[in-house]
Structure 1
Amino acid sequence: MKKLTFLFLLLAFAASAQDRIPAQGGDIIIQPILHGTFVMEYNGLTIYVDPYGGADKFAGQKTADLVLITDIHGDHHDQKTLDGLDLSQATVVAPLAVAEKLPAGKYKSIEILENGESKSLLNTKISAIPMYNLPETADSRHPKGRGNGYILTLGGKQLYISGDTDDIPEMRTLKKIDVAFVCMNMPYTMDVEQAANAVAAFQPAVVYPFHYRGPEGLADTEKFKSLVQAAAPNVDVRLRNWYPEN
């Protein structure tokens, strides 16, 4: 009885943490998981983004139909987490540098997308765009062309996933983004000011700061929100708990 009560409370908490984005044909449901990891559901489709942190983090989530992986680093391509999930019927979308590391036979298919390419999979348009560090150097943690940011089109909405990136021109010039997930953890991506400045440039309708833990702890999301609201008051900044263990 106690176990059933605990499970009910756990599921109720998970449901309460979900966000809903109204779209054609139903809501897009967004569930933060950890760091740069989240789950989206829309019209019977379940999408995992950069599964990381252990398969137990996905307890209570529906089985993935699509898995998006942005880059080779362990907080994006976490093979241990992937191996712990039932992805036998999932299509994995990844850049070549990740696809080369994925074991064969574990997934329904592996679709390679490189910067500038698009594919329609399971009634979802997926476009890969650059993510990289500035200045561009030979020893960059995130060189241009290796990893992907993604733009998904679901229910008439465009959702942008930044990947690990700096305040790059390709992000600043995005148009008509309905929902954006934007990273900000130094020294790997942007600081709070850079992320806020970039968001103010392309002005998504909704922005979620995520991937904001670095070596010195969590970035100041409240400061990010205040900076964005001052520069682009029409942007809905949504602060959610991406680090439930803290």
Structure 2
Amino acid sequence: MPKIRYNNMNDASTDHSVQEFRQWRKERKGKKKDLSFRVPNVPPDIEYLHANRRDATITWIGHSTFLIQYEGLNLVTDPVWAKRMGLDPRLGEPGIAIGDMPPVDVVLISHSHYDHLHLASIRKLYREETTVIVPAGLRAKMVGKGFSNSIELNWWEEAVIGGAKITFVPAQHWTRRTPFDTNTSHWGGYVLEPAGHAQFRDGEEPVKGEEPALYFAGDSGYFPGFKEIGSRFDIDVAMIPIGAYEPEWFMATQHVNPEQALQAFLDVRADKMIPMHYGTFRLADDTPREALDRMEAERVRLGIKAERIQVLKHGETLRVNKSSFT
């Protein structure tokens, strides 16, 4: 039976030829980059995070890994505590040591790339009560690796766990872990709402829940799906990638640049944005300092208020109770 192959909206292609890979490597050798900047770490409030079951919080671990506390649940996005990615070492220590994490109720996986799906990290977090949510096409792999309480979702499908409704939403990307499984599982992001918080479309009034709605974008190039997500949900906080975009002629279809990240933020109509996917692994030729500087310059150009962009340090916790947005 042939394997299912997943596609992007409008069949946008992320394929690259061997010649293009060689051209990128050739260009990289001629670039001189200042790699001295590191994302700062702050000591996490471990005692508070273990005790908290009331406040909605977002704590940046690094890269695309967040501890999200929501509706009494501890959720972790794309958990990666790896010390290196391929031959490149991690650029900074995780914001919370994996042994200091509070018990994890839900693991959210955006796609199967190694910098987002790190099995050893999940294994250390997983317990009998943990639910792993993955894109369509990945459940069998996760169950085979011992994560029996795994469910998979297609775009726009949802799961309700405790008091949280979790919807899998589109992204523009691709997947591969071996030479033989390209795009055999899907990719996307997640929207978290209180269970019972109604979706809405343009022209309708949103129904406000007790907790803010959160959007975790996963990995994505810029695409029309951001506007569709913004039309379907009343998002308060958006976690959006800003790194791994250079060279742009190579990366544009799969990774937004900082300017596109801010446009995606406006498209999804969120109140606040947390940048991610920078400063942990050197996956492309851009640097964390360049990504932050370009984002800040574009924020000023667009007239976005500074307080709407929440640049977290590793280990820093942002409390995002609904009162923060009223």
Normalising by structure 2, we get a TM-score of: 0.60
Give the match for residue 95 of structure 1: 135
Displacement, 1:60? 1.8
Q: Does 1:47 align with 2:105?
A: no
Q: Does 1:221 align with 2:279?
A: no
Aligned equivalents of 1:232 and 1:128: distance in 2? 31
Change in CA separation of 1:123 and 1:183 when aligned onto 2, cut-off 3 Å: same
Q: Which of 1 and 2 has higher RCO (CA within 8 Å, sep 6+)?
A: 2
Aligned equivalents of 1:34 and 1:131: distance in 2? 20
What amino acid is aligned across from residue 180 of structure 1 in structure 2? A
Give the alignment of 1:168-187 within 5 angstroms. 168-173=223-228, 174-175=230-231, 176-184=234-242, 185-186=244-245, 187=251
Give the alignment of 1:231-246 within 5 angstroms. 231=302, 233-234=304-305, 236-242=308-314
Which runs of 5 or more residues in structure 1 are unaligned? 1-11, 20-24, 135-141
What amino acid is aligned across from residue 79 of structure 1 in structure 2? L
User: Which among 110, 115, 122 is matched to residue 75 of structure 1?
Assistant: 115
8 Å CA contact 1:200, 1:232 repeated in 2: no
Change in CA separation of 1:153 and 1:49 when aligned onto 2, cut-off 3 Å: same
Give the alignment of 1:156-175 within 5 angstroms. 156-173=211-228, 174-175=230-231
Give the match for residue 324 of structure 2: none
8 Å CA contact 1:133, 1:144 repeated in 2: no
Identity %: 21
Aligned equivalents of 1:37 and 1:212: distance in 2? 11
Aligned equivalents of 2:184 and 2:270: distance in 1? 23
Per-residue displacement from partner, 1:25-79 (whole Å, max 9, x unpaired)?
A: 9421111111000101134311011111249832322111111001010111111
Per-residue displacement from partner, 1:115-136 (whole Å, max 9, x unpaired)?
A: 12112112211111111149xx
Aligned equivalents of 1:223 and 1:105: distance in 2? 40
Aligned equivalents of 1:115 and 1:159: distance in 2? 17
Displacement, 1:181? 0.4
User: Which among 164, 167, 179 is matched to residue 127 of structure 1?
Assistant: 167
Aligned equivalents of 1:27 and 1:195: distance in 2? 27
Largest Rg, 1 or 2: 2
Which runs of 5 or more residues in structure 2 are unaligned? 1-41, 83-93, 175-181, 195-209, 246-250, 317-326
Change in CA separation of 1:64 and 1:232 when aligned onto 2, cut-off 3 Å: farther
What amino acid is aligned across from residue 308 of structure 2 in structure 1? D
Q: Does 1:113 align with 2:153?
A: yes
Secondary structure of residue in 1 paired with 2:141:
coil
Change in CA separation of 1:115 and 1:232 when aligned onto 2, cut-off 3 Å: farther
Aligned equivalents of 1:168 and 1:145: distance in 2? 20
Change in CA separation of 1:225 and 1:97 when aligned onto 2, cut-off 3 Å: farther
Aligned equivalents of 1:205 and 1:67: distance in 2? 25
Give the match for residue 8 of structure 1: none
Change in CA separation of 1:202 and 1:82 when aligned onto 2, cut-off 3 Å: closer
Where do 4+ consecutive residues of structure 1 move more than 6 Å?
142-145
User: Which among 276, 280, 290 is matched to residue 210 of structure 1?
Assistant: 276
Normalising by structure 1, we get a TM-score of: 0.77
User: Which among 266, 289, 296 is matched to residue 200 of structure 1?
Assistant: 266
Task: Select the structure that is richer in strand.
Answer: 1
Displacement, 1:144? 11
RMSD: 3.1
Secondary structure of residue in 1 paired with 2:45:
helix
Displacement, 1:108? 6.0
Range 122-131 or range 85-94, more displaced? 85-94
Give the match for residue 31 of structure 1: 59
What amino acid is aligned across from residue 58 of structure 2 in structure 1? I
Displacement, 1:201? 3.0
